[in-house]
Amino acid sequence: IKKIAILTSGGDAPGMNPAIRAVVKDALAKNIEPFLVYEGYKGLHEGKIESAKNINVDKYINRGGTFIFSARYPAFKDPAVRQEAKEQLDKLGIDALVVIGGDGSYHGAQLLHEMGVKTIALPGTIDNDITSSDFTIGYDTALNTIIENIDRIRDTMESHSRAAIVEVMGHGCGDLALYSGLATGAEVIVTNECKISPEEIGRIVKEQTEKGKNSIIVIVSEHIYENIHDVAKIVEKISGKGTRGMALEHLQRGGIPTAAERINSARMGMKAVELISEGKSGLAIGIIKGATVATPILEALKIPRTDRTEKTKKFNKLNQA
């Protein structure tokens, strides 16, 4: 392997930059020329590729987002488009590609692998919904950002004896809600696995208030309720407690990557280069029980999510006690 390219695809996540840096630097250390593909699969198709040999990647180690940009590019599902994208790599003599993205990006990576591009995928999404890794790139930072914001919300709710219904991201995966709930002592955690009605939330808020709680925090995963403000109204009506609904939205996505994020991203980036230098392809990198591991992308996409129903109930019980 003489030349390798890297791209970021799908939603941006803090940690993508330190991962890119690790891939670029580790390639250079192994005498492999690194290339940057701008704007994900879209830029790959359009040939937005440049050598990273003389680019200072070090300054991005502590920056959120992705300095090589990301894109959503549904056209990549078209085999003719993928063929043209592969030709862009062939033209530059690039034999291998590292893709950082979520499960959609993994599908694209698998298809490139099947076309003969040596492709390795890294889990890049704040949602922690890639099951071939205990932690996705971006998750730890987003979790810390959520906690920081909920702490602030708690101050205000406590000062005014109110309840807050706070919606967080997750794309169907409850980890951000569940663990931010444990870390902030949220009185109610609602995820896809533990859905309850707004009326039921209202009853719990009432009960918690009667128990002497001054402020109440309810954390809910996105896409469970149609409108968080409507939920707040119902909760207020049933509990009698002033209730505000709020969604953290894109506040959760950016920001300075945490220590754990930078370390995990660098480890996974280095693993990708190591496997590529051995001629491996079609693998997804992850960190499982502390070890950096590789799983065939096809298998990685099929690993079921660990059921966290019992865990959610346990945390709710703890926080409501």
Catalytic residues: 127
Select from 62, 52, 55 the least CA-distant residue to 19. Answer: 62
Residue showing the smallest CB distance to ligand ADP in the complex: 104
Helices (H), 65-197: 79-91, 103-114, 139-160, 175-184
Q: Which is nearer to ligand ADP, 44 or 228 (CB)?
A: 44
- Give the shortest CB-43-to-ligand ADP separation in angstroms: 11
- Tell me which DSSP letter residue 194 carries: B
Output 85 or 276, the one with its CB closest to ligand ADP.
85
Of 126 and 166, nearer to ligand ADP (C-beta) is: 126
In the complex, least distance from residue 222 CB atom to ligand ADP, rounded to whole angstroms:
14
238: part of which helix (H) or strand (E)? Answer: helix 228-239
Least distance CB 42 / ligand ADP (angstroms): 7
Residue 104 CB, nearest distance to ligand ADP (Å)? 2
The C-alpha atoms of residue 240 and residue 264 are separated, in whole angstroms, by: 45
- Shortest CB 77 distance to ligand ADP, Å: 4
Question: Helix %, strand %, coil % for the chain, to 5?
Answer: 45, 20, 35
Which residues are at the interface with ligand ADP (CB under 6 A)? 9-11, 41, 72-74, 76-77, 101-105, 107-108, 111, 125
From residue 11, give the alpha-carbon distance in Å to each of 43, 91, 169, 210, 262.
Answer: 15, 28, 12, 42, 18
Would you say 110 or 312 has its CB closer to ligand ADP? 110
Side-chain-side CA neighbours of 275 within 13 Å: the count stands at 26
C-beta of 11 vs 254, nearer to ligand ADP? 11
Give me the residue label for tokens 């019992």.
310
- The pair of three-digit structure tokens given for residue 44, joined into one six-digit string: 């790959």
